[in-house]
A and B are shown apart, each in its own frame.
Chain A
Amino acid sequence: AQSVTQLDSQVPVFEEAPVELRCNYSSSVSVYLFWYVQYPNQGLQLLLKYLSGSTLVKGINGFEAEFNKSQTSFHLRKPSVHISDTAEYFCAAGSEKLVFGKGTKLTVNP
C-alpha cells in the first residue's frame, strides 16, 4: 500500500528566505507524485507533478520539486518565498487514486 509522509507539520520562514518542504513516499510500484497547495478557505490547487523523465520538476509560483528514487523523496523547494505563499501544502502519490500526506503549514513572516 502506498503511504506519504510529510516530515514537518509546520514551517515558519521569513519573507525572501528559501524554503524546503519535505515529502517521502513508499510504494512497491511506480507512482505519480504531486504537490498541491491549499490557501485558507479554498480548495486544492495543483502546484506541480512528477510522472517520469527529468527528476527536477518546475511548477507554478516559482516552486520546484526533485524526485529522488533512491531516497523515495519528493521535496518541494522555493528559493525566495513571499507573504502570499502562506498556505498549507500537501504531497500526494498515486495513479488512479491519490494518497495524501498530512500537510505542511507554511507561514511566511515579514
Chain B
Amino acid sequence: SAVISQKPSRDICQRGTSLTIQCQVDSQVTMMFWYRQQPGQSLTLIATANQGSEATYESGFVIDKFPISRPNLTFSTLTVSNMSPEDSSIYLCSVPLQGHYGYTFGSGTRLTVV
C-alpha cells in the first residue's frame, strides 16, 4: 500500500497566521483527501483534492480558509489560513489503497493555535 509522508508533525502557531501542511505519497494517486480531527472528536472530511482540478470542499469548509494545492499525482498541501484557537486540531491526509478498497492515512499534523 502507499506510504504517506506528512509534515510538519506538529506546530504551535500564533493566531492570525497561516500554516501549510504537506503530504508526499510514494506512488501516484488520483485522489487525496484532507481530514480534520478536533480534540476528542472523530475525523471530518475537509476536502477532496484531485490533480489538475479545483479541490472539492465539504459543507462547512471553504477555500479561503483551507486552500489546497495538488500540483502533481504524488503531492498535496493544505493551508490553514488566518488561524484562531478553534483551528487547533490534528490534520490528516489520506489516499485510497490500491484497488480503491480502503484508505491509508498520513501520521497527522498536530496544530495548536495560541
Contact = CB atoms under 8 A, between A and B. Distances in A.
Q: Do A and B actually bind?
A: yes
Interface of A: 32, 34, 36, 41-46, 49, 51, 90, 92, 96-98, 100-103
B102 A34 contact: yes
Question: DSSP class of B's interface residues: helix, strand, loop or mixed?
Answer: strand
Contacts of B92: 43-44
Contacts of A42: 107-108
Interface of B: 6, 31, 33, 41-45, 48, 92, 94, 97, 101-108, 110
8 contacts: A32-B101, A42-B107, A43-B6, A43-B106, A45-B105, A46-B97, A46-B102, A46-B103
Given A32-B101, A46-B103, A98 B42 contact: no
Contacts of A32: 101-102
Most chain B beta-carbon contacts within 10 A, residue among A34, A43, A102: A43
